[in-house]
Amino acid sequence: MEYAFNKLTKKDVEKLRVGDIVYLNGKIYTARDEAHLKIIEMIKNNEKLPFDLNEAIIYHAGPIMKKVNDCWTCISIGPTTSARMNDIEEEFIKLTNISKVINDMNVDILALQEIETKEALKLLLKKLPKYKYYKFLKNPNASIGVAIISKYPIINTKTIKIDSFDNYNRPILEATIKIKNKTIKILHKI
């Protein structure tokens, strides 16, 4: 199939299949290793990016460029991989994509699974200013934990330990959240 887009959205990309021909019209930003590192650094420092990554498609590309007079012209461009990117790409994808998904859902309270560290959760919350309240819980022997983020105050939390032969078992996170004049309890475990 052939597709032409003036603005490419993630929904558009989801329908594409291997072998499709895609024509893009408008501004296209490509980035190599150093740009990805700079974007991560700027997000961590809560700095404004020079372009909007919402609804953006990240195209890690290897262009062939030619300088004509004082301007650079793209002769050819294609996707590329780089072993140098292996250590940062997961963090880059997490920081630039998951916050968009959560903002689009626009829920009041969200239970998150497979959160690596409290620091990773705080980085995510920098991009989600509506969620002022959170609780993170992780078994010290496990590599990942759980979290609850909320637009409403979390007034109490409790850890419910589960007896198990497995030292990596994750406890249950119980959170009491106040919504207007009422409270609700949420129990969260993977």
Distance (Å, rounded) from C-alpha 113 to C-alpha 136? 10
Longest dimension (CA), the chain: 72
CB 94 within 8 A of CB 102: no
Instruction: Tell me which H or E stretch contains 101.
Output: helix 99-105
Q: Is residue 177 within 8 Å of 143, Cβ to Cβ?
A: no
Of 48, 8, 50, residue with least CA distance to 31: 50
Coil vs helix vs strand at 39: helix
36 is catalytic: yes
Q: Which of 22, 35, 36, 156 is catalytic?
A: 36
Q: Which residues are tagged catalytic?
A: 36
